[in-house]
Structure 1
Amino acid sequence: MKIGTVYWITGLAGSGKTTLGKRLYEQLRLTNNAVVFLDGDNLREVFGHEQGHTLAERKHLAMKYSRLCQMLSEQGIDVVCATISLFKEIHEFNRQHLQKYCEIFVKCTMEEL
């Protein structure tokens, strides 16, 4: 079975992750119907609306996002996931467990935020 690619778009709040993710999703959809766009704000509503914003709670949610991406990828679905999730442990998990993984860090100056 085909393994889907996970495009993990990360960066600070307001850096353009969602905008970039939507554009990438639209481009991928031109040639592939098996692609989904996941946005961190929407994922929080689904998985963690009852969770707070402590470091441990944010890491726990980020791991849920990673595992969801893994599950979809293993079913042949390309995943564009735009989330802050700036945790070394999460990025390392993704690199080790997602067979086709592309990490994109959106960098901008504080003035641009």
Structure 2
Amino acid sequence: MSEYTDNLRDVFEWFGPITVRRMFGGYGIYHEGLMFALVSDETLYLKADEANVGDFEREGLGPFEYNKGGKVVRIAYYQAPEELFEDHELAAAWARRSFEAALRAQAGKRKSARK
């Protein structure tokens, strides 16, 4: 792991325990076995969906993007606000909303699999 990802355990202390797993040149951040955040190039991104994407947009925070075969690909993670690194209560609130987005995404996958 890196010093950056190790520090996230302190950042999200009020939210609850997290685990960090290496993935694709970055890290997945998990709570209760569900990925709610990722780290790429020492930048934290939080899970977003229709219910919370407006929170990110109001703060002017952009989506996670990467280049795949000459095309820019966006996924449902947005840059975390810098303020949450200094405020445990704020970090817990943002993490909770992103974890809820991850739960909704997981529930949607289960419904699709049953069809």
What is the TM-score normalised by the length of structure 2?
0.30
More helix by share: 1
What is the TM-score normalised by the length of structure 1?
0.30
More strand by share: 2
Larger RCO of the pair (alpha carbons < 8 Å, separation 6+): 1
